[in-house]
Amino acid sequence: MNLFSETGLREEILTAVHELGFEKPTPIQAKTIPHLLSSKQDLIAFAQTGTGKTAAFGLPSIHATDIKNKSTQTLILCPTRELCMQITKDLTNYAKYIKGLQVVAVYGGASIENQMKALSKGAQIVVGTPGRTKDLIKRKKLILGDVERVVLDEADEMLTMGFKEDLDAILAMTDEGKQTLLFSATMSKEIINITKKYMNDPVELSAARMNTGAENVNHVYYMVHAKDRYEVLKRIADINSNIYGIVFCRTRRETKEIASKLMHDGYNADALHGDLSQAQRDEVMNRFRTGQLQLLVATDVAARGLDVNNLTHIINFNLPDDLEVYIHRSGRTGRAGKSGTSIAIIHTRETRKIKDLERKFKIEFAKELVPNGKDICTKQLYMLIDKIERVEVDEKQIEPFLPAIYNKLEWLSREDLIKHFVSAEFNRFLEYYKNAKDINVSENQRPDRKEKREKRSRSDRRQTSFTRLFINVGTKNSLNPARLIGLINESLDSSEAEIGKIEILKNFSFFEIEEKMEAQLINALEGLRFSDVKLTVEVSQEKPTVLNRPRHKPKHKKARASKSAGKKRSDRSKRFGGGGGRKRSK
């Protein structure tokens, strides 16, 4: 199958797809679409962001929809509201010429009443996040009796975010004869368990890993001391004046700091992080999608669901701890046959990660030297001259002003006039880079103070002050450690928070959170609903604990519930107590 016109899809769908500029299916689409048009067999597809997954399951779902039947026939589950909205937008575009087909998005953070009204009018395709979908099912507003296919998009991400219990509950409410489609970037133990429990003899398809062997993505790394990473970022932006990319940072704090520095230094940049309101987030994302921003600084969590074409660069201000995440990041550029560059800014202790990436994903990195001041000024100057050469001259508009201009500048020779012109446009670069030093380092150089501090900070995590919190839900409300961790991470829009001991009791629970995140988490959780219970979160009466973790214990180990949950206390004052060991959530 070389063209969409050969797929057998409805003419209305082909017309919409053609208008969107798509003619040739991607590898995952070429494998998936024929199967879904001809078979009701369950499907497991391994594909990553940017491979065309939405069209792979969306086009056949639209094709198979019975327009006369207003009930829900396809249910699509995904991990975040941004991805939910993006999928809904794409499916709506694909179905624009099919009258009577309705696609409705249901997700948290928006009015559930409006979503219930939309469902009541009829929605053949529903796209939702697990929590809101389960809530609407329990309210009997989303009826699954006629659902013929369920799509689990980015199933690995949903499990990572703690949605396993919700997925289990939703899938258990669907008909056993339905078709289940699972799309995932990885095959974890939890994914395998889902396939065994809810899928019948599924066929497995896969698309090549994003960027694996792709000739249109160039992988580059610069090696500098940690303290010079921001300087590298600026030089990358300066030598690529038409840059349009995402800068990935590890934490929200770093994201805000880097974006603030870039804006202060005159760069067309902004940040995307969990502290933004939904309105602020939408505004930033819209400005970036429309090209009003050249650089978007974001965490991996915040960038989920952000699908933007034509990105020229992905810049890893920090390499992620999980190497799979690098592949997800780099897969956002070099799409649709266009070239792109994925840059990693590393220090001397990170060469092992580069080698691991090369070995595991069969990609090659080129070590390049950070551009020096002369390189940048030369590139900027020539781009300026090219711009002047290509500018359109409207003689009628400027003719009245020319005599005065000629008179004003007649004392300057041709050479002096060029010098004045270049200096007026170019002094900022010349001044900034005239004494710019070489910041490149080699693998053999000793780490600088910031790198040592980073190493010490990782060691310092072994001793952290925690606050013990009470939350008014427990096993009675289907709470378990994994769901609690997912709830915390989702509320904070980050998986960086340190979580200590977790105690799940019948009607309430206790857990420990690093002291600095206490107020933010309480504010984020207070008033939210979990299994139809309005959450109440309070600080226990005991003082924050300082817990030492042995050096040999892996820092990435997930928090688990204590085997000894403790006995239920009879009064409130007795509930607030205890201590415990500490582990860190992913």
pLDDT at 95 over 70: yes
pLDDT of residue 495: 62
CATH, range 4-206: 3.40.50.300
Please say whether the beta carbons of 270 and 288 come within 8 A: yes
Cα–Cα dist 87/76, whole Å: 9
Mean of all residue pLDDT scores within the chain: 82
Tokens of 420: 């004045």
Class of domain 217-372+438-453: alpha beta
334-355 pLDDT, tens per residue? 876 788 999 999 988 889 999 9
19-40 pLDDT, tens per residue? 988 888 888 899 999 999 999 9
pLDDT of residue 114: 94
Please say whether the beta carbons of 427 and 374 come within 8 A: no
Query: How sure is the predictor about 452, in pLDDT bands with cuts at 50, 70 and 90?
Result: low
Of 82-96, 336-350, 453-467, where does the model show the most confidence?
A: 82-96
Query: Residue 341 forms beta bridges with which residues?
Result: 218, 313
Location of structure tokens 């929605």: 123
Report the range of poorest mean pLDDT among 132-141, 215-224, 430-439, 455-464. 455-464
Cα–Cα dist 374/436, whole Å: 9
Tokens of 59: 């086009």
pLDDT of residue 224: 94
* Amino acid code (one letter) for 560: R
- Crossing angle of helices 112-120 and 130-138, rounded to 10°: 60
pLDDT at 212 over 80: no
209 Cβ contact list (under 8 Å, min separation 6): 48, 327, 361
43-78 pLDDT, tens per residue? 999 876 667 889 999 999 999 999 999 999 999 999
Cα–Cα dist 113/575, whole Å: 37
Location of structure tokens 């004494």: 435
A 10 A CB-CB count for 548 gives 10
pLDDT of residue 564: 38
pLDDT of residue 220: 96
pLDDT of residue 48: 67
Please say whether the beta carbons of 34 and 57 come within 8 A: no
Would the CATH topology of 4-206 be identical to that of 461-575? no
pLDDT of residue 365: 95
Location of structure tokens 């006369």: 68
Query: How sure is the predictor about 579, in pLDDT bands with cuts at 50, 70 and 90?
Result: very low
Cα–Cα dist 482/361, whole Å: 29
Q: Domain spanning 461-575: which superfamily?
A: RRM (RNA recognition motif) domain (3.30.70.330)
pLDDT at 232 over 80: yes
Work out whether the CA dihedral 10, 13, 15, 17 comes out positive or negative: negative
pLDDT at 558 over 50: no
Per the document, the length of the chain is 586
Share of the chain above pLDDT 90, in %: 36
Domain ranges for the chain, please list them.
4-206, 217-372+438-453, 374-433, 461-575
pLDDT of residue 15: 94
Phi and psi, residue 242, nearest 5°? -100, 25
pLDDT of residue 450: 56
360-408 pLDDT, tens per residue? 888 999 999 999 988 888 888 888 888 888 888 888 888 999 899 889 9
322 Cβ contact list (under 8 Å, min separation 6): none
pTM of the model: 0.58
The 3-state DSSP composition of the chain as helix, strand, coil percent (nearest 5) reads 45, 15, 40
A 10 A CB-CB count for 34 gives 16
* 520: three-class secondary structure by DSSP: helix
Cα–Cα dist 488/525, whole Å: 8
Please say whether the beta carbons of 487 and 525 come within 8 A: yes
Please say whether the beta carbons of 208 and 278 come within 8 A: no
427-436 pLDDT, tens per residue? 777 788 888 8
Phi and psi, residue 170, nearest 5°? -65, -50
pLDDT of residue 195: 84
Report the range of poorest mean pLDDT among 50-54, 140-144, 550-554. 550-554
CA-based angle 118:122:125, to the nearest 5? 90
